[in-house]
Amino acid sequence: MNTSPAQSIPAEEKVSLVELALVFLQLGTTAFGGPAAHIAMMENEFVRKRGWISQSEFLDRLAAASLIPGPSSTEVAIFIGHSKRGWAGLIVAGSCFIIPAAILVTLIAMAYVRFGSLPQVAGILYGIKPAVIAIIVQALWGLGRTAAKTRLLAAIGIACVVLNALGVAPLTVLAFAAVASGAEGLLKTKRSMGWILVPKSCALLAAAAVLAAPVSLVRLFLSFLKIGSVVFGSGYVLLAFLRAEFIDRLHWLTEKQLIDAVAVGQFTPGPVFTTATFIGYVVAGVRGSILATVAIFLPGFILVALSGPLLPKIRRSLLAAAMLDGVVIGSLALMVVVAWQLGRAAIVDWRTLVIFVISATLLLRYRINSAWVIAGAGLVGWIVQM
């Protein structure tokens, strides 16, 4: 019986904090393309390449990250760090994934404030975008085979793809998947589910409301703390919350500044939520960028710390495990829809189609590191646009 590297290494094996930091610093510097691409790169790095975590454990953490507010890919990184080195790993993994992007976004914000425009990166993005789609396809291929353990789960996954494509909200899709899968688990056991993964946003929201003060830096911190505590979904969902807070309510930004902030979060590597870093600098300089970054990511660290210990308990309950399996397949279904939407925007001509096909071949057949694929695609895109 053959055993994959990911399955042969015990889950409790520890890695050094230095190695953990270096790996996540590298990911934070090269992870272009948004949450779906980040998750794909982490699956390749930690499941396929390093064998630090099994595919089923990775999927459980992806499902848990989908159920709590905040940037899902960053929360997966935090989950992985916590699984390898506990609290220290949680802080190191999450921070090192965020810091490279936060520094880069701050530098871009400095240039933006001084010159009033964003740098020209169209050529690089032209090549990177189709390569990102190939990375997502690679992850979906591997994760999908693990997640679709039964015909029922496969059918639930297809239904979730259809529902999300028709415009049903992601949280509703995940709820449907959990209930549909849990119904089968309910038939297998009459035991009640003793453990549930519940977001802890209410306490954070209450703290923000109580501590609200007219001091601009305090208000900036609390505004982003509130947003980080309640936002599910993509950068476009984040855009709605940012607009309501900083344009409609506080009047700190113009429409153009907000769109530029979201654009920076999209085209830089690492978490899309570093949009907050950009806004923080525009509003209040370096101190504002630091406070905004800490505030928007802090809820994710807290929620992962609270929910992480529950995952093994969930797996021990047949009903809860069945519902978690549903959330896993639902999360992958959401990734399928995202990949399709991004693919239509990224593969726009024969050149981008060639970049996609070559990237997918290198990833699926030759197992080339995704960071090299991204770098090569960006270089090709820059040359083509020149």
User: pLDDT tens across 83-123, in order?
Assistant: 998 899 999 999 999 999 999 999 999 988 887 766 666 67
Domain range spanning residue 187?
5-121+150-195+306-342
**How far is the C-alpha of 207 from the C-alpha of 111, rounded, in Å?**
35
Whether residue 31 has pLDDT greater than 90? no
**How far is the C-alpha of 107 from the C-alpha of 109, rounded, in Å?**
5
Secondary structure (3-state) at 199: coil
**How far is the C-alpha of 377 from the C-alpha of 374, rounded, in Å?**
5
364 part of a folded domain: no
Q: Is 285 left (phi over 0), alpha (psi -120 to 50) or beta?
A: left
79 part of a folded domain: yes
318 part of a folded domain: yes
| Mean pLDDT of the 137-151 span | 84
User: CA-CA distances (angstroms) from residue 106 to 95, 160, 274, 288?
Assistant: 16, 38, 9, 10
**Cβ atoms of 216 and 284 closer than 8 Å:** yes
| Mean pLDDT of the 306-325 span | 79
**How far is the C-alpha of 63 from the C-alpha of 241, rounded, in Å?**
23
User: pLDDT tens across 47-91, in order?
Assistant: 988 999 999 999 999 888 877 878 888 999 999 999 998 899 999
**How far is the C-alpha of 258 from the C-alpha of 190, rounded, in Å?**
51
φ, ψ (nearest 5 deg) of residue 119: -65, 155
pTM above 0.75, yes or no: no
Name the amino acid, one letter, at 327. Answer: V
What's the CA angle centered on 30, arms 113 and 294, to 5 degrees?
55
The tokens for 78 are 């935090």
81 part of a folded domain: yes
User: pLDDT tens across 262-279, in order?
Assistant: 767 767 888 889 989 999
Name the amino acid, one letter, at 103. Answer: I
Name the amino acid, one letter, at 343. Answer: G
104 part of a folded domain: yes
| Mean pLDDT of the 361-380 span | 84
Nearest to 352 by CA among 136, 131, 32, 135: 131
Secondary structure (3-state) at 116: coil
Q: How far apart are the first and last CA of the chain?
A: 52
| Mean pLDDT of the 240-259 span | 82
Nearest to 234 by CA among 348, 98, 103, 337: 337
- Tally of domains within the chain: 1
The tokens for 112 are 């933006």
294 part of a folded domain: no
75 part of a folded domain: yes
The tokens for 154 are 């496969």
User: What does DSSP assign to residue 166?
Assistant: T
Instruction: Decide which of 312 and 292 is more confident.
Output: 292
The tokens for 348 are 């726009």
Whether residue 8 has pLDDT greater than 50? no
The tokens for 117 are 């425009």
322 part of a folded domain: yes
Whether residue 196 has pLDDT greater than 70? no
Residue for token pair 């923000």: 208
Q: Is 70 left (phi over 0), alpha (psi -120 to 50) or beta?
A: left
Q: Which helix (H) or strand (E) holds 46?
A: none
Helical H runs in 116-200?
122-147, 151-165, 170-188
User: What does DSSP assign to residue 7?
Assistant: H
Secondary structure (3-state) at 263: helix
Nearest to 176 by CA among 166, 194, 164: 164
**How far is the C-alpha of 125 from the C-alpha of 131, rounded, in Å?**
10
Task: Identify the burial level of 116 via C-beta atoms within 10 angstroms of its C-beta, where 0-12 means exposed, 13-18 middle and 19 or more buried.
Answer: exposed
The tokens for 262 are 């979201």
